[in-house]
């Protein structure tokens, strides 16, 4: 889904523009655009020497909904579901009133960039974090909806994963209001767009696939088997095959279920890795011991031979 031309026109702001809040009288200097969704544009802005993220929209309903989502996030103790909401306001521009809200600016790399830099071994670790976050979100009665790598930031240096851009977040039971086709089970013919935990969990599996296919791909006629075979046939995904295939088919009811099986899979993989390392170390030790024994035997044989030569000479 893309933003309408009307919304884009009114919300397009050049760097250096100062946005004056109508009610709170705060001023925000636009630094650059961070991203655009179906119902608004997010900017990096400066306020009183601090960097913040500011989202402008032409739709009061969407802004009010997103503010409610962020407020809901803030009620979850210790939550890292999304950015912290700072405040909301209006901006009068060319005789038109545009609603906006200001939130924490989360710095770091998006998921794909982080894994490209750090390696594929981070995938399981980050997905465990993501599933914990999604579990808390679902317990609050929401589905993230537009879940994709661009909306996931890995903070530095803590390596905590955070969700940004809550524009697609939808109350459970309703129809998902914003989505990206590649991560949408409706597009792949593997379920409806009803907002329920399994909708997000499908997207988690597609995010994992996207790590190994960064350019993405088009669906084929038999899209179900296309995805299942791809998971089974891709080296980096094979170790998580059962978990991701179940997520694609909607076999998990909760993020907690998926997280538990993913963790178990990772533990089994680690144990197998430990066994292989132990076997390699034992083989290396045996080889070293064998070499040492050979040296000792050679030394003993040399001594005996030396004594024999000496006795012959003395005799």
Q: For residue 184, what is the domain's CATH number?
A: 1.10.510.10
Residue 205 belongs to what domain range? 108-268
Residue 253: other Cβ atoms inside 10 A: 13
Residue 278 lies in a domain: no
Percent of the chain with pLDDT over 90: 65
Report yes or no on whether pTM surpasses 0.85: no
Closest CA relative to residue 73, chosen from 163, 207, 168: 163
Phi-psi region of 48 (alpha: psi -120 to 50; beta: other; left: phi over 0): left
**Are residue 126 and residue 42 in the same domain, yes or no?**
no
Residue 125 lies in a domain: yes
**Are residue 214 and residue 73 in the same domain, yes or no?**
no
Closest CA relative to residue 263, chosen from 163, 125, 162, 123: 125
**Are residue 65 and residue 130 in the same domain, yes or no?**
no
CATH number for 53: 3.30.200.20
Q: What was the pLDDT predicted at 307? A: 74
CA distance 66 to 307: 93
The string of pLDDT tens digits covering residues 28-43 is 999 999 988 778 899 9
Pick from 87-91, 240-244, 289-293: least confident: 289-293
CB 80 within 8 A of CB 131: no
**Are residue 81 and residue 147 in the same domain, yes or no?**
no
Residue 293 lies in a domain: no
Q: What was the pLDDT predicted at 271? A: 63
Q: What was the pLDDT predicted at 123? A: 96
Q: Which residues form the catalytic set?
A: 146
**Are residue 80 and residue 197 in the same domain, yes or no?**
no
How large is the average pLDDT for residues 74-96? 82
Residue 298 lies in a domain: no
7, pLDDT greater than 70: no
**Are residue 120 and residue 240 in the same domain, yes or no?**
yes
**Are residue 68 and residue 125 in the same domain, yes or no?**
no
**Are residue 215 and residue 149 in the same domain, yes or no?**
yes
Q: How far is CA 153 from the centre of its chain?
A: 7
Domain count, the chain: 2
CA distance 63 to 139: 22
């Amino acid at each position: 889904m893309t933003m309408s031309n009307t919304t884009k026109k009114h919300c397009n702001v050049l760097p250096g523009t100062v946005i004056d809040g109508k009610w709170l009288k705060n001023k925000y200097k636009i630094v650059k655009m961070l991203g655009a969704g179906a119902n608004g544009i997010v900017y990096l802005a400066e306020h009183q020497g601090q960097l913040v993220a500011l989202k402008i929209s032409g739709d009061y309903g969407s802004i009010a909904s997103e503010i409610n989502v962020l407020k809901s996030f803030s009620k979850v103790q210790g939550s890292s579901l999304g950015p912290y909401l700072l405040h909301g306001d209006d901006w009068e521009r060319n005789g038109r009133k545009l609603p906006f809200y200001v939130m924490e600016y989360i710095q770091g790399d998006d998921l794909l960039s982080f894994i490209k830099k750090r390696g594929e071994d981070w995938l399981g670790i980050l997905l465990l974090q993501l599933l914990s976050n999604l579990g808390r979100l679902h317990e609050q009665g929401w589905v993230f909806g537009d879940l994709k790598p661009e909306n996931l930031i890995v903070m530095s240096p803590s390596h905590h994963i955070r969700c940004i851009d809550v524009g697609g977040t939808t109350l459970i039971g309703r129809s998902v209001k914003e989505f990206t086709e590649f991560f949408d089970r409706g597009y792949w013919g593997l379920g409806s767009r009803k907002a329920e935990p399994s909708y997000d969990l499908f997207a988690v599996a597609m995010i994992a696939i996207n790590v190994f296919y960064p350019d993405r791909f088009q669906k084929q006629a038999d899209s179900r088997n296309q995805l299942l075979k791809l998971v089974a046939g891709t080296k980096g995904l094979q170790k998580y095959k059962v978990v991701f295939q179940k997520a694609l088919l909607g076999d998990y009811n909760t993020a907690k279920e998926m997280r538990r099986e993913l963790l178990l899979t990772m533990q089994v993989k680690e144990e197998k890795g430990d066994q292989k390392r132990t076997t390699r170390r034992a083989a290396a030790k045996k080889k070293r011991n064998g070499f040492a024994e050979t040296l000792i035997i050679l030394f003993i044989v040399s001594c005996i031979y030396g004594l024999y030569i000496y006795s012959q000479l003395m005799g």
